[in-house]
Structure 1
């Protein structure tokens, strides 16, 4: 029987893994700008498919902002996006420290279901993550699809020159872990930093 491949690449999700993401706070801030209810903002931007299209790379940053402006009925530019996104993000120092610890044993990458506009703002929004991941911070839009499509994990692994079996994905959404496993990756469904530590330790990654 062949031994399992050693893990050479560990991929971290961002929202609700390395940081807490309060989407309701973001929607509330946008609602206050537009004179709408939170439910209306969720329907106009999220349920309408604008966020999904952005995440999957079907909208450029400018096209995404234009679509939001049209849907909300107000100008919605980069500064507005940045302010409402930033207030919804709180880093998890313990999870970030675990990512830092993995660097001694394997390559790191970050993969988040976000559009090109997030890629523009990583340095300003999460400089602490840039310090850990360097240039290996990716939005799904770069790959023309989004999690849980198995293709996105295979494409990311190929970019770093590893086979899917040599990569591990850490994500808070079980469906995204199912997609990663379908692509041949090892997956960990994130619930706490303590459980993540045990997972990484079991794979001799910390």
Structure 2
């Protein structure tokens, strides 16, 4: 089987971080005299921090200033250090995956590396770690996925992207890649799968075991790969 590239989003795909990230946003906004609920953050899953802050401000009227922005990562990092876990089944999947893989995330490089380190995933995802800070436009633009594919030496048509957000799915579709939605994270909700399909996902999988079967069927992994 010819080598093909799997591009993993990080938050909500590799690490079960979205509920903790929402908790951090709510706490930081509270510290700065602003009131938002976790649902305001959930609506922004998949976006980079600057875009999340802009969207929350536009939709709630609660606008976080620069001092508050600077607090987001320290608060998030503390939560991640003590409570972050890998998404169920991903370690089993990655442990037997032999083909090329990389990470393309809207998060900062520091956050990506910390997330992978505290969940013991750092040695399983390869050295290709790409952040939206490396490109002009974040998801749903295709820039990050195209950048990752170029750096890894693959044509977009030979790439599969695993994403949990509609913004990520839209970016993968715009990049001309196979888009696989994953709803295995703790932030998944009723209607999540339908939203990913509406965004253009070629398939949506409720677990890493299902994702492994889907990737096998599409020729991205060998038939010996399983996740459980």
Q: TM-score, normalised by structure 2?
A: 0.64
The equivalent of 1:62 in structure 2 is none
Residues in 2 aligned to 1:83 and 1:68: alpha-carbon distance in whole angstroms:
21
Name the residue aligned to 1:70. 67
Structure ID, larger Rg = 1
Gaps of 5+ in 2: 54-63, 184-205
Paired position in structure 2 for 1:170: 162
How far did residue 119 of structure 1 move?
4.6
Residue in 1 aligned with 2:215?
200
Number of aligned residues? 181
> Partners of 2:170 and 2:33 in 1: how far apart?
39
RMSD in angstroms over aligned alpha carbons?
Answer: 3.4
Aligned match for 1:9, one of 5, 10, 15:
5
Cα distance in 1 for partners of 2:102, 2:161 equals 9
C-alpha spacing 1:53/1:98, structure 2 compared with 1 (3 Å): same
Q: Where do residues 1-206 of structure 1 align in structure 2 (5 Å cutoff)?
A: 6=2, 8-20=4-16, 21-22=18-19, 23-31=21-29, 33-34=31-32, 36-39=34-37, 51-52=49-50, 70-71=67-68, 76=71, 79-86=74-81, 89-102=84-97, 104=98, 106-119=99-112, 121-122=114-115, 124-126=117-119, 128-191=120-183, 192=206, 193-204=208-219, 205=221, 206=225
1:179, CA displacement in angstroms? 2.2
User: CA–CA distance in 2 between the matches of 1:7 and 1:37?
Assistant: 49
With over 3 angstroms needed to count, the CA separation of the structure-2 counterparts of 1:69 and 1:159, relative to structure 1, is same
